[in-house]
Structure 1
Amino acid sequence: MLNLSSPSPAMRAAVAAALAVGVATSMPACTTATPPAEGPTASPVTSTPASGAGDTPSPTGSTPTDESQTASPGAAGGADPIMRGERQVVLRPVGSFESILAVDAKGRLNLTDGDTDKSLFVLLPAHGNKYQIRTAKAHGGGEPDCMGLRDDGSAPATVVATACDAGRAGQLFVIERTWEKSEGRPTYTISGEGNVRLRATDRQGLVVERVREGDAGEGLTFDFVDNGAAPAGPGD
């Protein structure tokens, strides 16, 4: 016969224990995902081209430039062999009709339309942007001549051939490059002692005079036409 009386305390405790074990084993394990440790943030990488063989070639295939073509106005020397006295040149007035400078029969530097053996010159650096203008070939006494200023009184001064002497101020000419070019060549102004400039015009020939304010600049610029290596001069 079933005992319908209330269960004893011991029985209730046993049932409670059994129920607790069953619940614990039937519940799925409850785990919390731990977020991965956050590592150091990578900083952006800036790529800097390395110098040397790994450089990317220039799109234009850059090559060393001729300093004589790029020098700023006023800078007449530099890498240009003409301005180092290494080349013999023709002095050509810009804008003059087929005329060049040459030493004439009277020893004056003047315009000529023909090619003579007295139309080649060497520009010898003195100091700063000052130069001697020496004939490429020897004349008269067996040595080259140098150009020098001659005061002609009330008339404009002229340039004449004389014995070379770098100590004479009249033989030192300031040669300055301008912004302009003539047939692809740089152009220059040539100044003498006393702030005067060489000017070549078909009417007057080559004269030396002070340049007035606002002067249009006719005949004041020259270009130098390369005619090969300069011959050896006295003492070379």
Structure 2
Amino acid sequence: MQTSAAPVQTSAAPAKTSKSPAKAPSNPILAGKRQVVIVPIESFEGVVVLDDEGNLGLTDGDSDRSMFVFAPHDGKFQIKTAKVARGGEPECLGVKNNGSQSLTVAAVACDTGKADQLWDIAPTGKRDEDGDPIYSIANQSAFLQIGRSGLIVEELGDAPLLTTYTFADNGKSTLPKLD
């Protein structure tokens, strides 16, 4: 028995999505001019931090590896450490493939040619209790989320976005210009 599916009607032009990153020039934080602490709204632990092994996690204490600079690049952002590493350059946050385990984030040598280092930082349209804008952070349609094992990068599918962030301004970026 042979069946055929009815043709699917599509509109002439696909619907446009409004997933545009925040404009860097009008926001000094997103223009790479300020160093910030990334604060997850939905977490009891305080801030995003790189641990001693270079993996991204959460901490409720102070750390010299909890400040970052957003460097705009072609409508996306590299997230750089606010302090330079041993080689005299900052490190960047890159997605780390862990085989069958969840994707995580680790410090890597900065390279704007690597898609796993280019992040979408988009305002959610909401504000925190201090009136600061709240953002989502994503890499290639996978969002930086708090999972059971810490910070992970995952596609949402039909699930809602559960982790959003605000950025605590910690002054002017002291990173050297390397362009």
Q: 1:235 aligns to what? A: 178
Whether the 8 Å CA contact 1:73–1:178 is kept in 2: the answer is: no
TM-score scaled by length of structure 2: 0.83
In structure 2, distance between residues paired with 1:154 and 1:88: 34
Q: Does 1:149 align with 2:149?
A: no
* Max Rg structure: 1
In structure 1, distance between residues paired with 2:58 and 2:45: 10
In structure 2, distance between residues paired with 1:229 and 1:142: 18
CA RMSD of aligned residues (A): 1.8
In structure 2, distance between residues paired with 1:122 and 1:197: 19
Q: Greater relative contact order: 1 or 2 (C-alpha under 8 angstroms, separation 6 or more)?
A: 2
Q: 1:145 deviation in Å?
A: 0.4
Q: 2:153 aligns with which of 208, 217, 226?
A: 208
Q: Partner of 1:227: helix, strand, or coil?
A: strand
Q: 1:167 deviation in Å?
A: 1.0
Q: 2:59 aligns to what? A: 112
Whether the 8 Å CA contact 1:149–1:170 is kept in 2: the answer is: yes
Letter matched to residue 161 of structure 1: A
Greater helix proportion? 1
- List gaps (5 residues or longer) in structure 2: 1-17
Letter matched to residue 79 of structure 1: S
Q: 2:47 aligns to what? A: 100
In structure 2, distance between residues paired with 1:139 and 1:148: 15
In structure 2, distance between residues paired with 1:75 and 1:167: 19
Q: Partner of 1:175: helix, strand, or coil?
A: strand
Q: 1:181 aligns to what? A: 127
Q: 1:169 aligns to what? A: 115
Q: How many residues align?
A: 160
Q: Give CA deviations for 1:127-185 in whole Å, capped at 9, x if unaligned.
A: 12x00000000123332101111111111101100111111111101111111111211
Distance 1:75 1:150, change over 3 A: closer
In structure 2, distance between residues paired with 1:157 and 1:140: 26
Whether the 8 Å CA contact 2:84–2:175 is kept in 1: the answer is: no
Q: 1:74 deviation in Å?
A: 4.2
